[in-house]
Copies of this chain bind each other. A is one copy, B any other.
Amino acid sequence: MLKYHLSLIILLYVVLTAIAQDSAMIRNIYNEALLRGRAYEDLRSLCKDIGPRLSGSSEAEMAVRWSESKMKSYGFDKVYLHPIMVPHWERGNPETAWLTINHQIIQKMSIKALGGSISTNGALEGEVVMFKHLNELKQAKRKHVAGKIVFLNQPMSAAEIQTFNAYGLCHPIRSNGAVEAAKLGAIAVIIRSLALPLDDHPHTGSMHYEDSIPKIPAAAMSTLDSDYLAEILATKATVKFTMEMDCRTFPDALSYNVIAEMTGKKHPDEIITFGGHLDSWDQGEGAHDDGAGVVHCLEALRILKALKYEPSHTLRLVFFMNEENGNMGGKTYAKWVQEKKEKHIAALESDRGGFTPRGFGCDGNAEVFHRFSSYESLFRPYDLHLWQKGGGGVDIGPLKNEFHDITLFGFIPDSQRYFDVHHAASDVFENVNKRELELGAAAVSSLIYLIDSDLFH
**A240: Cβ under 8 A from any B Cβ:** no
Residues of B within 8 A of A414 (CB): 356, 414
Binds B, one of A30-38, A172-180, A299-307, A449-457: A30-38
Tell yes or no: A385 within 8 A of B by CB.
Answer: yes
In the complex, chain A residues 414-449 whose Cβ is within 8 Å of any chain B Cβ: 414, 416-417, 420, 433-436, 439
Contacts of A153-169 to chain B: CB distance below 8 A: 158-159, 161, 163
CA distance A356 to B420 in the complex (A): 15
How many Å from the CB of A413 to the closest CB on chain B?
10
A434 to B433, CA, bound (A): 17
Q: Which chain B residues lie closer than 8 Å to A434 at the CB level?
A: 197
Closest chain B residue, CB of each to CB of A417: B433
Q: Indicate if A196 sits at the interface (CB-CB under 8 A).
A: yes
**Contact residues in B for A159 (Cβ distance below 8 Å):** 30-31, 34-35
| Cβ of A49 under 8 Å from chain B | no
A35: B residues at CB distance < 8 A:
158-159
Asked if A358 is at the interface of the complex by the 8 Å CB criterion, the answer is yes
With both chains docked as a complex, state the minimum distance between the C-beta of A403 and any C-beta of chain B, in angstroms: 32
Q: Does A386 contact B (CB under 8 A)?
A: yes
Contact of A196 among B386, B417, B435 (CB under 8 A): B435
Question: Count of chain A residues with Cβ under 8 Å from any Cβ of B?
Answer: 26
Partner of A417, one of B158, B358, B383, B436: B436
Instruction: Tell me whether A381 is interfacial, beta carbon within 8 Å.
Output: yes
* Interface residue? A66 (CB, 8 A): no
The docked-state distance in angstroms from the alpha carbon of A35 to that of B35 is 40
Q: Which of A197, A416, A433, A436 has the most CB of B within 10 A?
A: A416
Candidates B197, B416, B439; contact of A356 at CB < 8 Å: B416
Question: Which A residues, 353 to 391, have Cβ-Cβ distances below 8 Å to chain B?
Answer: 356, 358, 381-383, 385-386
Name the contact of A435 in the complex, choosing from B381, B383, B417, B436 (C-beta under 8 A): B417
Q: How far does the alpha carbon of A159 sit from the alpha carbon of B416 in the complex, in Å?
A: 25
B residues within 8 A CB of A161? 30, 381-383, 439
Report chain B residues within 8 Å CB of A435.
158, 163, 196, 416-417
Chain B residue numbers with a CB within 8 Å of A417 are 433, 435-436
Residues from chain B with a CB closer than 8 A to the CB of A383 are 161, 358, 385-386
> Which residue of the partner chain B has the closest CB to A416?
B435
Distance in angstroms from A383 CB to nearest chain B CB is 7
Q: Closest chain B residue to A435 by CB distance?
A: B416
**Complex interface: chain B residues within 8 A of A416 (CB):** 356, 433, 435-436, 439
Given contacts A34-B159, A417-B435, A420-B433, 13 further A-B contacts (CB under 8 A): A30-B161, A35-B159, A161-B381, A161-B382, A163-B435, A356-B356, A356-B414, A356-B416, A383-B386, A414-B414, A416-B435, A416-B439, A417-B433
Which 6 A-B pairs give the minimum distances between C-beta atoms?
A385-B385, A34-B158, A416-B435, A34-B159, A356-B414, A31-B159
**Sample of 21 A–B contacts (CB below 8 Å):** A30-B159, A30-B161, A31-B159, A34-B158, A35-B158, A35-B159, A161-B382, A161-B439, A163-B435, A196-B435, A356-B356, A356-B414, A356-B416, A383-B386, A416-B433, A416-B435, A416-B436, A416-B439, A417-B433, A417-B435, A420-B433
